């Protein structure tokens, strides 16, 4: 600097000093940022080290949840950084949400895999609703969050939501356009038997996963004969509350009110309810009525490798004596009444939508048209 004062005029000397000062401040700022980054890195390494003692399953779940939260946060930020987006408009065909509140052990995995296989081709989103401990009843605050997500998450439309949750009435939340509900139910005793063995032996979907009752070799017949809790008639009470909804009476085992409410919802709130025993026909009707989602579903179910993906690994059919004992229960009588009600409604819909020819079912073509249209155009 002494040499600069000798060689440069005073104004240039002052300018050089200012430039030098700015450069020093810039370097100090960069050094400070590097120190902060190093501190954050050390914390991250410490956290990762502690996490290293967690089991592989826990780490996987933590990573999945972190990724999911990150993706949701990014979408929410796109909405809130500059205020609500005004340019996101959806065609009526795309502004559609389907909710499949799947009842456990009714071939729901086989069906949802078809949705996953078709979503890229048919251009829609599939979202799994994963509730803590598979609790089918949401808290009131989660109900509000879920309704808001489903109705306003435009980036996820058209969307296919599926999960083990009971029916939720969107109308009471002031929603203008409600989602389309679909479902599949099963003969109640067959469903319970399948669930009983699933808890003990798992299935061919994830054969290595340890199930809650693994190691218990007692057959379903032995369980019923001994009056076990896992095969008690109360365990049949599931399909009715799933269709009844989030009212407390829905989960009151043996409630006649719950049964009637489930019937009402099935007729008035569900687009289509199929039965496990006739799943292919259910898929065929969906493809005919909602091709935006299910175009190609019937052929995929018939020929695809995943069409019968999930099967219980080991299952023994109950004896006639076991079935007769369960059928003495009032709970079975109510669940079976609901199943028969759903089956009759499904067969009614199918009878008016298809025709049989040479042993094959064919969807009917459009069978209505318009005439006498007034005023006449010039």
User: Catalytic: which of 70, 125, 128, 164?
Assistant: 164
Rg of the chain over all Cα atoms, to the nearest angstrom: 30
Distance CA 138, CA 130 (A): 11
> With contact defined as beta carbons under 8 Å apart, do 173 and 142 qualify?
no
Beta bridge partners, 181, equal 99, 270
Planar angle of CA 239, 244, 246, nearest 5 degrees: 115
Q: What is the DSSP string of 73-128?
A: HHHHHHHHTTSS-SS----TTTS-EEEE-PPTTSSHHHHHHHHHHHHHHHT-EEEE
Interacting residues of 365 by C-beta distance below 8 A, sequence separation 6+: none
Interacting residues of 310 by C-beta distance below 8 A, sequence separation 6+: 107, 109, 110, 203, 204, 205
Q: Which helix (H) or strand (E) holds 182?
A: strand 180-185
Planar angle of CA 234, 236, 239, nearest 5 degrees: 125
Secondary structure class of 135 (helix, strand, coil): coil
Secondary structure class of 20 (helix, strand, coil): helix
Up-side HSE of residue 134: CA atoms within 13 Å toward CB? 5
Does the annotation count 128 as an active-site position?
no
> With contact defined as beta carbons under 8 Å apart, do 283 and 172 qualify?
no
Cβ-based neighbour number of residue 88 at 10 Å: 11
User: Catalytic: which of 70, 125, 128, 162?
Assistant: 162
> With contact defined as beta carbons under 8 Å apart, do 198 and 105 qualify?
yes
Does the annotation count 125 as an active-site position?
no
Structure tokens at 183: 């479902």
Burial of 343 (0-12, 13-18, 19+ CB in 10 A): middle
Distance CA 185, CA 48 (A): 45
Active site residues: 162, 164
């Amino acid at each position: 600097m002494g040499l600069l004062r000798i060689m440069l005029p005073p104004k240039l000397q002052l300018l050089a000093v200012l430039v030098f000062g700015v450069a020093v401040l810039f370097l100090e700022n960069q050094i400070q940022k590097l120190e902060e980054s190093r501190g954050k890195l050390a914390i991250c390494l410490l956290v990762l080290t502690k996490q290293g003692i967690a089991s592989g399953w826990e780490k996987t779940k933590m990573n999945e949840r972190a990724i999911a939260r990150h993706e949701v946060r990014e979408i929410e930020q796109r909405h809130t950084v500059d205020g609500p987006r005004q340019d996101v408009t959806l065609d009526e065909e795309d502004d559609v949400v389907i909710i499949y509140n799947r009842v456990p052990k009714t071939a729901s995995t086989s069906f949802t895999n078809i949705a996953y296989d078709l979503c890229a081709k048919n251009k829609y989103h599939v979202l799994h609703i994963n509730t803590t401990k598979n609790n089918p009843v949401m808290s009131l605050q989660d109900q509000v969050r879920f309704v808001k997500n489903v109705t306003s998450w435009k980036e996820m439309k058209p969307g296919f939501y599926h999960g083990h949750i009971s029916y939720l009435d969107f109308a009471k939340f002031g929603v203008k356009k409600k989602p389309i509900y679909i479902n599949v139910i099963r003969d109640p005793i067959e469903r319970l038997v399948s669930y009983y063995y699933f808890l003990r032996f798992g299935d061919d979907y994830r054969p290595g996963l340890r199930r809650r009752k693994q190691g218990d070799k007692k057959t379903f017949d032995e369980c019923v004969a001994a009056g076990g809790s896992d095969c008690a008639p109360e365990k049949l009470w599931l399909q009715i509350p799933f269709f009844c909804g989030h009212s407390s009476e829905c989960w009151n085992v043996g409630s006649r009110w719950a049964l009637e409410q489930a019937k009402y919802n099935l007729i008035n709130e569900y687009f289509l309810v199929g039965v496990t025993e006739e799943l292919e026909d259910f898929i065929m009707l969906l493809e005919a009525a909602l091709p935006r989602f299910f175009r190609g579903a019937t052929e995929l179910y018939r020929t695809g490798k995943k069409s019968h993906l999930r099967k219980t690994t080991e299952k023994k059919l109950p004896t006639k004596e076991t079935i007769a004992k369960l059928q003495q229960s009032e709970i079975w009588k109510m669940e079976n009444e609901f199943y028969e009600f759903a089956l009759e409604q499904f067969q009614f819909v199918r009878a008016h939508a298809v025709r049989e020819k040479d042993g094959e079912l064919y969807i009917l073509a459009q069978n209505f048209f318009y005439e006498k249209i007034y005023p006449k155009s010039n």
